[in-house]
Amino acid sequence: MKKTKELGFATRAIHSGQEPDPLTGAVTVPIYPTSTYVQQGIGEHKGYEYSRVSNPTRTRLEQNLAALEGGVASRVFASGMAAINAIVSMLKSGDHVVCGNDLYGGTPRLFNQVLSGFGLEFSYVDTSDAENVERAIRKNTRMVYVETPTNPLMRLSDLSAISTICRRKKLLLVVDNTFMSPYFQQPLALGADLVVHSTTKFLNGHSDGLGGVVVCAQQEHADKLAFLQKAAGAILSPFECWLILRGVKTLAARMEIHDRSGRIVADFLSTHKKVKGVFYPGLVDHPQHTLAKRQMSGFGSMITFETGSLKNANKMLKQVRVCSLAESLGGVETLISHPATMTHAALGEKGRKAIGITDGLVRISVGIEDVNDILEDLDHALDGI
Per-residue x/- track, 261-300, ligand PLP (CB under 6 A) = ----------------------------------------
Q: What's the full length of the chain, in residues? A: 385
Catalytic status, residue 138:
no
Site map (CB under 6 A) of ligand PLP, residues 118-157, x = contact:
-----------------------------x---x------
φ/ψ of residue 351, rounded to 5:
-60, -40
Cβ atoms of 145 and 125 within 8 Å: the answer is no
The answer to whether 259 is a known catalytic residue is no
Check if 2 is active-site. no
Pairing of strands 96-100, 121-125: parallel
Applying CB under 6 A, the span of 74-82, 279-287, 304-312, 318-326 interacting with ligand PLP comes to: 74-82
Contacts of the segment 156-161: beta carbons below 8 A, 24+ positions apart? 156/128, 156/281, 156/288, 156/291, 156/292, 156/295, 157/100, 157/127, 157/128, 157/130, 158/128, 158/130, 158/291, 158/295, 159/187, 159/190, 159/191, 159/192, 159/295, 160/190, 160/191, 160/295, 161/130
> Which listed residue (51, 63, 74, 79) binds ligand PLP by CB under 6 A?
79
Q: Judged by CB under 6 A, does residue 104 bind ligand PLP?
A: yes
* Enclosing H/E stretch for 198: strand 194-198
Please pick, among 12, 58, 201, 254, the residue that the annotation labels catalytic. Answer: 201
- Dihedral angle over CA of 231, 233, 234, 235, nearest 10: 110
Cβ neighbors of 142 (< 8 A, separation 6 or more) are: 91, 95, 96, 97, 171, 172
Q: Kindly report the number of other CB atoms within 10 A of residue 14's CB atom.
A: 17
Which residue's CB is nearer to ligand PLP, number 28 or number 341? 341
* Residue with smaller CB distance to ligand PLP, 243 or 375: 243
The interface region with ligand PLP, picked from 48-56, 76-84, 136-144, 299-307 by CB under 6 A, is 76-84
Min. distance of Cβ 100 from ligand PLP in angstroms? 11
For residues 177 to 196, the per-residue mask of contacts with ligand PLP, x marking binding by CB under 6 A and - elsewhere, is: -x------------------
- Contact stretch for ligand PLP (CB under 6 A) within 78-86, 164-172, 254-262, 334-342: 78-86
Identified catalytic residue from 104, 145, 183, 280: 104
102 lies in the site for ligand PLP, by CB under 6 A = no
Edge-to-edge strand list for the sheet holding 96-100: 73-77, 212-216, 194-198, 172-176, 141-147, 96-100, 121-125
Binding characters for ligand PLP, 28-57, by CB under 6 A (x = yes): ------------------------------
Taking the least distance from each CB to ligand PLP, the nearer of 63 and 177 is 177
52 in catalytic set: yes
Let me know how many helices (H) and strands (E) the chain has, helices first.
Answer: 14, 12
Site residues, ligand PLP (CB under 6 A): 79-81, 104, 106, 147, 151, 176, 178, 198, 200, 210, 212, 328
Instruction: Catalogue the active-site residues.
Output: 52, 104, 176, 201
